[in-house]
Amino acid sequence: MSDDHGSIFDGLIGGDSAQWAFGTDFEDPLAGVDTTVPGGVDHAELAAYCLMLGDDALIMSQRLTEWCSRAPDLEEDIALANVALDLLGQARLLLARAAAADPGVPPALPEGSPVPPEDALAFFRDAGGFRNVRLAEVPNGDFAHVVVRLLLFATARLAVLERLRASTDSVLAAVAAKSVKELTYHRDWAGRWFLTLAQGTEESRRRLLAALEGLWPFQAELFAGHPVELSLARAGVGVDPATARDEVDAVLDQVLAVSGVARPDVAPLPGGGRHGTHTEDFGPLLAEMQVVARAHPSGRW
Amino acid sequence: MSARERASGALVSARERASGALVNARERASEVAAQVRDPEMPMLTLADLGVLRAVDVERKPDGGEIVVASITPTYTGCPAMATMRDDLVHRLNDAGFPRVEVRVVLDPPWSSDWISERGRSALHEAGLSAPGPARRAAGPVVLTLGPVRRALACPRCGSAATRLISEFGATACKALYTCTDCLEPFEHVKEI
DSSP string, B128-182: EEPP-PPPP-SSSPPP--S--------TTT--S-EEEEES--SSTTEEEEEETTT
CA distance linking residue A87 with residue A286, whole number of Å: 17
Do the beta carbons of residue A263 and residue A253 sit within 8 Å? yes
Probe site for chain A from B66, B103, B168 (most A CB atoms < 10 A): B168
Q: Scanning every residue of chain A, which has its alpha carbon at the shortest distance from the alpha carbon of B166?
A: A75
Give CA angle at A70 (A73, A152), nearest 5°. 90
Chain B residues touching A79 at Cβ < 8 A:
166-168
Do the beta carbons of residue A68 and residue A81 sit within 8 Å? yes
Task: Please tell me the distance in Å from B180's CA to the nearest CA on chain A.
Answer: 18
Nearest Cα to Cα of residue A175 among A63, A271, A274, A100: A100
Q: What is the pLDDT of residues B148-158, one digit of tens each?
A: 889 899 999 99
Q: What is the pLDDT of residues A231-282, one digit of tens each?
A: 999 999 999 999 999 999 999 999 999 999 999 999 999 999 999 999 999 9
3-state DSSP call for residue B185?
strand
How does strand B128-129 pair with strand B185-189? Answer: parallel
Residue A284, classified by CB atoms within 10 Å of its CB into exposed (0-12), middle (13-18) or buried (19+), is: exposed
* Neighbouring residues of A260: CB distance < 8 A, sequence distance ≥ 6: A198, A199
Q: Scanning every residue of chain B, which has its alpha carbon at the shortest distance from the alpha carbon of A247?
A: B140
Residue A228 reports pLDDT greater than 80: yes
Torsion from C-alpha of A234, A235, A240, A244, nearest 10 degrees: 100
B147 vs A288, more confident: A288
Torsion from C-alpha of A197, A202, A208, A211, nearest 10 degrees: -160
Average model confidence (pLDDT) across chain A = 92
> Does residue A254 sit at the B interface (CB-CB below 8 Å)?
yes
> Does residue A179 sit at the B interface (CB-CB below 8 Å)?
yes
Nearest Cα to Cα of residue A245 among A210, A229, A221: A221
> Does residue B109 sit at the A interface (CB-CB below 8 Å)?
yes
* A206 occurs within a structural domain: yes
* Neighbouring residues of A27: CB distance < 8 A, sequence distance ≥ 6: A116
Average model confidence (pLDDT) across chain B = 88
What is the count of structural domains for chain A?
1
pLDDT of res. A112 = 87
Kindly list the structural domains of chain B, giving each domain's residue range(s) and its CATH number in brackets, ordered by start: 3-110 (3.30.300.130), 115-140+149-189 (no CATH)
pLDDT of res. B10 = 53
pLDDT of res. A57 = 98
* A79 occurs within a structural domain: yes
pLDDT of res. A214 = 98
CB contact burial A203-217 (16+ within 10 A = b; e otherwise): ebbebbbebbebbbb
Residue A25 reports pLDDT greater than 90: no
* A299 occurs within a structural domain: no
- Tell me what the mean pLDDT of segment A155-184 comes to: 97
> What are φ and ψ of residue B48, in 5° steps?
-65, -35
- Are the beta carbons of A85 and B90 separated by less than 8 Å? no
pLDDT of res. B135 = 79
**A:B CB pairs within 8 Å:** 136
* A50 occurs within a structural domain: yes
> Does residue B106 sit at the A interface (CB-CB below 8 Å)?
yes
Chain A from 35 to 94: CB within 8 A of any B CB: 75-76, 78-79, 81-83, 85-90, 92-93
Nearest Cα to Cα of residue A185 among B51, B169, B177: B169
pLDDT of res. A300 = 78
CA distance linking residue A22 with residue B71, whole number of Å: 17
* A27 occurs within a structural domain: no
Q: What is the pLDDT of residues B64-81, one digit of tens each?
A: 899 999 999 999 988 888
Q: Which domain holds residue A232?
A: 39-294
- Are the beta carbons of A162 and B169 separated by less than 8 Å? no
* A165 occurs within a structural domain: yes
Task: Please tell me the distance in Å from A270's CA to the nearest CA on chain B.
Answer: 29
pLDDT of res. A216 = 98
Task: Please tell me the distance in Å from B160's CA to the nearest CA on chain A.
Answer: 22
Question: What's the CATH code of the domain at A75?
Answer: 1.20.1260.10
pLDDT of res. B147 = 79
- Are the beta carbons of A93 and B106 separated by less than 8 Å? yes
Strand order of the β-sheet with B52-59 is: B52-59, B65-71, B100-104
pLDDT of res. B87 = 94
Probe site for chain B from A181, A183, A197 (most B CB atoms < 10 A): A181
pLDDT of res. B157 = 94
> Does residue A196 sit at the B interface (CB-CB below 8 Å)?
no
